[in-house]
Structure 1
Amino acid sequence: MSLVVYLAAALLALAAAVLFRRPRATTRNPLTVSTCMSITLGALVFVCSAPMTLAVVNDLTGVPNFGAPLTYGLLSAYSCSLLILLIHWRGGPPERVRRTVLRCVTAYGALIVVIVVLFVHADADVERLADLDTYYATTPFMREMTVLYLVGHGVATVVMCALCLKWLREVTGLLRTGLLLIMAGSAVDLVGFQLAKYTAVAARWAGGDLDFLSTSLAPPMASLAALLCSAGFTLPRLLPPARAHWRCLGDHRRLRPLWTRVRSVSVAPRPPGGWWQSPRQRLHWREVAIHDALLALAPYFDDGVRERVRDSAVRAGRSAHEARMTAEAAMLTDAARRAAAREQPLEPPSTYRLYATEVSDSSGLVELAHAVRQSPVSDTAREGTVRTSHGFNHG
């Protein structure tokens, strides 16, 4: 069982680390802070509830079953953090949010105090690492402590389900998906963890033995529930930037043919950093460097090459835009060849403006890169370059 809960704790800790990847920006966002706190507390609950951890805690403190109030207190804090997270996620007037959060903290803070007091007054000298709830189900004070932590966690779960169900009617997209995951996790928690615990404890009260529900079924169900809820909270926050990073990586890769063609004339300074730069930063630098190269190649643009290739593409059945991009790619490749050969710029210089410089995003450069990769300069274009160049020199 320890392996299962440790794995769940590791996955939760990883999710919190990803959300907390930029501490300065994170601490200014209450929603991100509450999300990280909830996931971190969930990970701590799993770590503390593992039998191996319980044995270490009991040995270090010298108190049999000291890990029980520690775990139940953390579970109550985790339940409170989930409600606080939903309150921040829902939003509203700051004063109302502050009052609601304070009420949650007060209620669950009192619950934690009561759990500790009950444990102090209970007679629980026999260490139980896996079946404490059922072993002490009929023991005064321990019985009440078990019921209280389950009720506190159950109230938080039911309230969370009710809020998600109400909010589900108002949202769409990723936020709706996140709410559905939270509700699925809450359902697993209610049925697989809480109902199993209640049933096992009630069986002990009735003189029966259904301990396997508490020791074998409840822990993995709790792990699954926590992972589903954490995915519901983090997915709407992580997926959009992940998609944006993926698009930036794709555009960066698609610009490679164009960058390879013009990089020899670019003098844009490389920014500090290396492979750890974000995809957006790397894409931005490549776009800047390419635009710098296009500016350097402008004096070598040959309108004769462009017009010749464009007319040929139109005759071949290309659309006007496709013909333009093919012609620009040919003209650019010819300009890069002439600049690399240290030939003299054309006189008078071309006043033509590339399509890539007319659009504000990277789509124009991506189209130009695709055209450069698909249509290298032909011999006909090069012959046209020679003739046009001579015409300019003698004009």
Structure 2
Amino acid sequence: MASFLLALAALLLRRPRRTPRSALSIATRATAFIAALCFFWSAPVTLAAVNRATGVPNMGAPLTYGSISALSCSLIILLIHWRGGPRERIRRMTRLTVAVYGTLIVAVVVLFGLADADTERLTDLDTYYANTPYMREMITLYLMGHLASTIVLSAVCLKWARDEVTGLLRLGLRLILAGLLLDALGFTLAKVTAVVARWLGYDLDVLSTNVAPPAAALGALIYSAGFVLPRLGSAAAAERQSLTTYRALRPLWSAVKDVATAPVAEPTRWQLWWQLPSSRLYLLEANIRDALLQLTAHFDQQLGRTAYAAAVARGEERERARVASEKAMIIDGIRRASGHGRGPADPPEKFRLTIDLVELATAVQRLGQAAPEQVGTW
């Protein structure tokens, strides 16, 4: 179940196609995916299948321990990108983390190859081989690597939590700390205690076989939620803003789609129902811009000059005066395309649409109430 939920999180966190690649986004999805792999490889059914497929008893062990070490590495890298900072510093710390844990993973594989571990153990390998040469070192190495990442993450999160962070970021930090605490106490400490007990001649295998796995699963889900929640929160806020803008642009789309010189394809309800508001907004803006560019033959550049001069006379800055000129030509062009214009148009040779569409939509909503002679003053 934990593997499925984390894999689902990796899919849900994919970026829209038009969104630029983000190192934080890649690190978030990679961490969720690697965490899912950890629980997949550590499942007894998977371990048995790997052992049978390779013909090597306990071959699933280095896969599991390697993926746990990779998860430790990805968690540190995710936190590095989450905190941000100078790009060169982020790259340097990321490379150092990859080098350290890459070396650890290679060491795990080499030690397993040197060990004599012919008896298949699917649930109690850590304690069963706790005193076996090379297997002992392999088990100790992966546990220490995981414990080190937990300590580093906890220290950084505690230091960051002392800063003035609020909202979902504060909640995310608390979830990360709670998940890391559960992972450190429920998984790492339980495993270490059981292994050390074997070294001393005692049997506390129940800590390794019954306590550690569910604690690791729950801890991973909690701290993964801590990393993901702030990002989902900001994404939800962006989608709400996209929905607001989409609704604001609908009147403008209604005004231009029927007067465009060529039909503009509008997505059907069936095509829209599964799309996020940001995707809907992107399509709507593209359609509006296409329709407006088709109306350039109805634009009157003389009217644009008049609107520009009037804006400058009112004390507007040149940029705002240019926006007023563009807005006046577009609104007058919509009138002319609808058959309500006066006199022939004098279209510009070149026209580049730069006006904010929401501002234009607000002006178009006033189009029905305004007298024709008022258009040049907008």
Same fold (TM over 0.5): yes
Structure 1 residues 118-147: Cα deviation after superposition (integer angstroms, max 9, x where no partner):
212222111111221122223232222212
Residues 257, 263 of structure 2: 8 Å contact kept: no
Aligned residue in 1 for 2:14: 19
Alpha-carbon shift at residue 225 of structure 1 (Å) = 2.0
Alpha-carbon shift at residue 346 of structure 1 (Å) = 9.7
1:91 lines up with 2:84 in the alignment = yes
Alpha-carbon shift at residue 251 of structure 1 (Å) = 5.3
1:222 lines up with 2:216 in the alignment = yes
Q: Secondary structure at the match of 1:87?
A: helix
The correspondence for 1:75, drawn from 59, 65, 68, is 68
Q: Secondary structure at the match of 1:128?
A: coil
Alignment of 1:1-395 (within 5 A): 4-15=1-12, 18-22=13-17, 25-26=20-21, 29-173=22-166, 174-249=168-243, 252=246, 270=264, 274-275=271-272, 276=275, 278-282=279-283, 284=285, 345=340, 362=358
Partners of 1:200 and 1:281 lie apart in 2 by 56
- Give the residue type in structure 1 aligned to 2:231: R
Partners of 2:233 and 2:181 lie apart in 1 by 24
Alpha-carbon shift at residue 269 of structure 1 (Å) = 5.1
Residues 76, 153 of structure 1: 8 Å contact kept: yes
Structure 1 residues 254-295: Cα deviation after superposition (integer angstroms, max 9, x where no partner):
776897799766778536864358032245368769999xxx
- Give the residue type in structure 2 aligned to 1:231: A
Residues 264, 287 of structure 2: 8 Å contact kept: no
Structure 1 residues 32-55: Cα deviation after superposition (integer angstroms, max 9, x where no partner):
333333222222212211112111
Residues 69, 116 of structure 1: 8 Å contact kept: yes
Partners of 1:19 and 1:166 lie apart in 2 by 30
Structure 1 residues 61-119: Cα deviation after superposition (integer angstroms, max 9, x where no partner):
11100110111112112211221222233333344333322322222222222222221
Residues 188, 225 of structure 1: 8 Å contact kept: yes
The 1:270–1:23 alpha-carbon spacing in structure 2 relative to 1, beyond 3 Å, is closer
Residues 268, 289 of structure 1: 8 Å contact kept: no
Aligned residue in 2 for 1:326: none
Partners of 2:18 and 2:257 lie apart in 1 by 36
Residues 65, 124 of structure 1: 8 Å contact kept: yes
Alpha-carbon shift at residue 19 of structure 1 (Å) = 3.1
Partners of 1:23 and 1:148 lie apart in 2 by 43
Partners of 2:287 and 2:165 lie apart in 1 by 36
- Give the residue type in structure 2 aligned to 1:122: A
Partners of 1:146 and 1:367 lie apart in 2 by 69
Alpha-carbon shift at residue 159 of structure 1 (Å) = 0.3
Q: Could you tell me the TM-score, scaled by structure 2's length? A: 0.68
Structure 1: runs of 5 or more not aligned = 293-335, 349-358, 372-380, 382-387, 389-395
Aligned residue in 1 for 2:317: none
Structure index of larger Rg = 1
- Give the residue type in structure 1 aligned to 2:11: L
Moved more, 65-74 or 104-113: 104-113
Moved more, 246-255 or 101-110: 246-255
Identity %: 49
Alpha-carbon shift at residue 366 of structure 1 (Å) = 8.3
